[in-house]
Structure 1
Amino acid sequence: MALLDRIKHDADSDEFLVWKFPSEEIRLGSQLIVNQSQEAIFVKGGQALDLFGPGTYSLSTGNLPILGKIVNLPFGRKTPFSAEVWFVNKTVKRDLKWGTKTPIPLIDTQFNYPVNVRSFGRWGMRVTDARTFIVQIVGSQYNATMISKIEEYFIGEIVQRLSNALSRYFVEKNVSIFQVNARLNELSGFVESEIRAEFERFGIEIVNFNIERISIPDEDMNKFKEILGKRMEIDQISQAKVGQAYTTMRTFDTLDKAADNEGGGTGQMLGTGLGLGVGLGAGVPIGQQIGGAMNVQPIQKAPSDDPVVKLQKLKQMLDADLITNEDFETKKKQILDSI
Structure 2
Amino acid sequence: MNINKQFRSVIEWENPNEKELFVKVTDNFEEIKNASKLILQVGQGCIITYEGKVKDVITEAGIYDLKTDNKPFITNLKKLFQLRERSEHVLGIWFFRKADIVNMRWGTRVPIAYTDPIYSFPIQLSAFGNYSVKVIKPLEFFENIIAGKELFTHFDLKEFFLSRIAQPITDYLANAKFSYVEIDGQLNEIAKNTKDKTNEVFTDLGFEVLDFRIEGTQFDQETLGRIGEISDIQAEVKSAQIAGIDFANLQKLKAMRDAAKNEGAAGITMGMFTGVELSRITNEPQKEDIKTKLKKLKELFDLELITEEEFSEKRKKILSKL
Determine the structure 2 residue equivalent to 1:136: 144
1:18–1:147 Cα contact (<8 Å) kept: no
- CA deviations on 1:176-219 (whole Å, 9 max, x unpaired) are 25421111011110101112221011211111111111110213
Distance 2:90 2:66 in 1: 13
Distance 1:188 1:101 in 2: 17
Distance 1:42 1:105 in 2: 48
- CA deviations on 1:146-187 (whole Å, 9 max, x unpaired) are 6642222223334333212212333xxxx4254211110111
**Which of 196, 204, 207 is residue 204 of structure 1 equivalent to?**
207
Task: Read off the aligned partner of 2:213 and give its amino acid letter.
Answer: N
Determine the structure 2 residue equivalent to 1:329: 238
Once the two structures are TM-superposed, the CA of residue 109 in structure 1 deviates from its matched residue by 4.5
Determine the structure 1 residue equivalent to 2:161: 154
Task: Read off the aligned partner of 2:166 and give its amino acid letter.
Answer: V
Once the two structures are TM-superposed, the CA of residue 73 in structure 1 deviates from its matched residue by 3.1
2:21–2:153 Cα contact (<8 Å) kept: no
Determine the structure 1 residue equivalent to 2:61: 54
Once the two structures are TM-superposed, the CA of residue 50 in structure 1 deviates from its matched residue by 0.5
SS of structure 2 residue aligned to 1:17: strand
SS of structure 1 residue aligned to 2:72: coil
Gaps of 5+ in 2: 250-322
2:20–2:152 Cα contact (<8 Å) kept: no
Distance 2:199 2:185 in 1: 23
Gaps of 5+ in 1: 230-316
> CA 1:106–1:85 in 2, change beyond 3 Å: closer, same or farther?
farther
> CA 1:118–1:135 in 2, change beyond 3 Å: closer, same or farther?
same
Q: Which moved more, 1:79-88 or 1:177-186?
A: 79-88
2:236–2:247 Cα contact (<8 Å) kept: no
> CA 1:212–1:86 in 2, change beyond 3 Å: closer, same or farther?
same
**Which of 15, 20, 29 is residue 25 of structure 1 equivalent to?**
29
Task: Read off the aligned partner of 2:42 and give its amino acid letter.
Answer: Q
TM-score (normalised: structure 2): 0.59
> CA 1:86–1:73 in 2, change beyond 3 Å: closer, same or farther?
closer
Task: Read off the aligned partner of 2:72 and give its amino acid letter.
Answer: N
User: Size of the alignment, in residue pairs?
Assistant: 236
Once the two structures are TM-superposed, the CA of residue 130 in structure 1 deviates from its matched residue by 1.4
What aligned pairs does 1:297-336 form with structure 2 within 5 A after superposition?
Answer: 326-330=235-239, 334=246
Alpha-carbon RMSD across the aligned residues, in angstroms, is: 3.9
Task: Read off the aligned partner of 2:96 and give its amino acid letter.
Answer: V
Once the two structures are TM-superposed, the CA of residue 47 in structure 1 deviates from its matched residue by 4.2
**Which of 11, 20, 30 is residue 7 of structure 1 equivalent to?**
11
Distance 1:96 1:150 in 2: 9
**Which of 180, 184, 187 is residue 181 of structure 1 equivalent to?**
184
- CA deviations on 1:42-69 (whole Å, 9 max, x unpaired) are 235654431113122244897349977x
> CA 1:148–1:184 in 2, change beyond 3 Å: closer, same or farther?
closer
Distance 1:8 1:206 in 2: 28
